Amino acid sequence: MFKDLNPLLHSQLRLAIMSILISVDEADFVYLKEKTNSTAGNLSVQIDKLSQADYIEVKKDFVGKRPHTTCRITGKGRKAFSDYIDALKSYLP
Amino acid sequence: MEEKKLTEKESLELITRMIQSTKENLEVGRGNKFLMYGYFTVALGIVIFLLSLFTHNNLYSWGWCLMFACWAFVSWKAKKPDVITYTGKAIQRVWQIMGLMFAITFVSLWIFVVIFHTHYILMILMMPLSLIYVNIGVSITGIILKDKWMTFLPLVSQLIAFYMLVAIMNNIPNILLNLLMSFAFIVSMVIPGHILNYKMHK
């Protein structure tokens, strides 16, 4: 039986962000932008959506005079990602 | 990358690709800190040895306090990484604890100096104890990074630390300890640092 895929994760950029964050302790905005090959605006919007769902933690501070944003996956995000993988498996032959 | 719906197959491919991409090039340059501390200590040991040898003044041993300046410099120069892996975090924590042990030892010895009214044990004991901490730190780093050289070379350096302790316990003040310290750091930091950088660039 097919399980429902979490719509918040079942989109290309948000899934890419979560896949990166699941495999590291924390990553900054520039790193995510490079790895996902996305625009800053789009990435920012998707990060906000994941953050509002408590799937990721976003920390904003300054390195020197430059703003620095780091993201980290939360326990809830980890669980959601795991459930998403389980759901994907149900679609596989 | 635009926000778009994916097929199940595309989702799995994307997850695999992204996880794989985080594993690439993350370890490059990890050996550089080892080399900075290693070469600085080697040079410092030689300078202190030569100054002590030609002036017959053991006060130059206080020069080892410049290790704090080296630590401050390396910390100041270190760029905040774009991404911190679990491996990187574990290594960072290991060295934080080692740094803390180093600081606690330094402060404790100062307290003993005040209690026992002596300055001799302070600097002389810092050498073998620091070396033991460094060796433990490098070995644990080697275990985390799965590098045999980094794991086992500090054991050779540990013998030097034990010799230093025995020499001090038997009241053999010897300026050669400064040179031994330099040699120990070549074994425990410089060689593993170069091996690590070579492997990462391969």
Residue B51 lies in a domain: yes
3-state secondary structure at position B83: strand
Domain assignment present for B114: yes
Which residue, chain included where needed, has tokens 């704090």?
A: B68
pTM higher than 0.90 for the full model?
A: no
Between chain A and chain B, the number of residue pairs with CB atoms below 8 A apart is: 85
* A19-49 residue pLDDT tens: 999 989 899 999 999 999 999 999 999 999 9
> Structural domain of residue B190, as residue ranges?
27-78+86-201
Mean pLDDT, chain B, whole residue set: 85
- Give chain A's end-to-end CA distance (angstroms, integer): 11
Burial class (CB in 10 A: 0-12, 13-18, 19+), B61: buried
The string of pLDDT tens digits covering residues B121-145 is 666 888 899 999 999 999 999 999 8
Domain ranges of chain A: 12-91
- CATH placement of domain A12-91: 1.10.10.10
Higher pLDDT among residues B83 and B41, named by residue: B41
Between chains, do A25 and B14 touch, taking CB under 8 Å as contact?
no
Which residues from chain B sit within 8 angstroms of residue A23, using beta carbons?
18-19, 22-23, 85
Q: What is the pLDDT of residue B17?
A: 86
Check if A42 contacts B (Cβ < 8 Å).
Answer: yes
The 10s digit of each residue's pLDDT in B150-176 is: 999 999 999 999 999 998 888 776 778
Structural domains counted in chain B = 1
Instruction: Judge whether B63 is closer than 8 Å to chain A, CB to CB.
Output: no
Q: Which pLDDT band holds residue A15 (cuts at 50, 70, 90)?
A: very high
Q: Say yes or no: B21 contacts chain A, CB-CB below 8 A.
A: yes
Instruction: Determine, yes or no, domain membership for B14.
Output: no
Residue B170 lies in a domain: yes
Nearest residue to B61 via CA among B136, B189, B168: B168
Task: Chain A: give the shortest CA distance to residue B202, in Å.
Answer: 22
